[in-house]
Amino acid sequence: MKIIRFAAEIFALIGLLSAVAVAQAGDTKSFAKDGLSFDYPAGWSVQDDSSTDAQQLMLSRTDSDAQIRLLVHRGNIKAEKLPDAKKAFIDPYISYLNKQFESIGASPKQSPDASEIGGLKAEGVNVTASIGGEPGAAKIYWALVGQRVVMLTYLGPDKDLKKYLPAWDLVRTSIKTDGAQATPKPSPKP
């Protein structure tokens, strides 16, 4: 009897999780333009400030200070050129954000970080600061996705960053670019 009740509970749980997944999928929008695509939740708006050099997008909500920023260079590069791209526009962007924090009286602290973008390993930094007594951060990650440099920033007060973490994860993990896709390298087996 216990096994039948346990099995019924498992099937009910699977049904509930399936319903939640379907409901969440209905609340997902897609962005696709100029070889860049990603998914994002309904309730977020996309502002496109792209130039001839790079696609620059900002996702935001009217009820939050959290922002997701994407900078995707339009040119294709090889993996060995990524350090040059980092020096050319990733490092200056990190420096710019640090100066923005300092200009409003915050004392930013920077630490190395790592994540994934579109299933690929991404290097990053976490810049933390307290603004008006409220802790916040700018989490900046970059990777080569389909031979294009992709830089993502998740920025805002800590309370909003925690609240909207599923939106960040959806954008970050669904990013694709046209062109030859880099393939994740398998982890070495011990």
Residue 49 reports pLDDT greater than 50: yes
Name the pLDDT band for 132 (thresholds 50, 70, 90): confident
Residue closest to 143 by CA, chosen among 111, 188, 182, 95: 182
Residue closest to 54 by CA, chosen among 79, 73, 75: 73
pLDDT in tens, 4-23: 444 344 444 344 333 344 33
pLDDT, mean over the chain: 85
Q: Distance between CA 116 and CA 141 in Å, rounded?
A: 8
Which helix or strand (DSSP H or E) is residue 10 part of? helix 2-26
Q: What average pLDDT does this structure show over 19-38?
A: 74
CB-CB contact of 70 with 57 (8 Å): yes
CB-CB contact of 79 with 126 (8 Å): no
pTM of the complete model: 0.79
Specify the range with the lowest mean pLDDT, choosing from 15-24, 60-69, 167-176: 15-24
What pLDDT was estimated at residue 16? Answer: 38
Strand ranges (E), the chain: 28-33, 36-41, 45-48, 54-60, 67-73, 109-117, 120-131, 134-145, 148-157, 176-177
Q: Which domains are delineated in the chain?
A: 28-177 (3.40.1000.10)
Phi and psi angles of residue 10, each rounded to the nearest 5 degrees, phi first: -60, -45
Which helix or strand (DSSP H or E) is residue 160 part of? helix 158-163
Per-residue b or e along 83-104, where b marks 16 or more CB atoms closer than 10 Å to that residue's CB: eebbeebbeebbeebbeebeee
